[in-house]
Amino acid sequence: MTAESESHHLVDGLLSLVLTIFVSNATTKRAFSTMTIIKTSLHNKIEDDFLTNYIIVFIEKEIAKKVSTDMIIADFYKMKELSL
């Protein structure tokens, strides 16, 4: 590996970091913004696991729209059958 190819590799890595830091920062800010919207005085009384799952569904709305109530019920029936 020559010094020139090594420096190009470092520049490429630096550019990748610079280009992705804004997206990473925006995603984190979006998650915390969502958490402040959801975490009201009413939600302060629920367990952390439930709140975490609720926030994930709230953030990933597009994925959650693809899941129907019938799919959830079928999954619960499968879980019940496996536990017997």
pTM check: above 0.75: no
pLDDT in tens, 73-82: 999 998 888 7
Domain count, the chain: 2
Contact between 43 and 51 under an 8 Å Cβ cutoff? The reply is yes
pLDDT in tens, 4-40: 656 687 888 888 877 777 777 777 777 777 777 766 6
- Say if residue 13 is in the same domain as residue 51: no
The total of other beta-carbon atoms located within 10 Å of residue 68's CB is: 9
Q: Which domain holds residue 17?
A: 1-38
- Say if residue 69 is in the same domain as residue 48: yes
- Say if residue 44 is in the same domain as residue 34: no
- pLDDT value of residue 5: 59
Query: What type of residue is 69?
Result: T
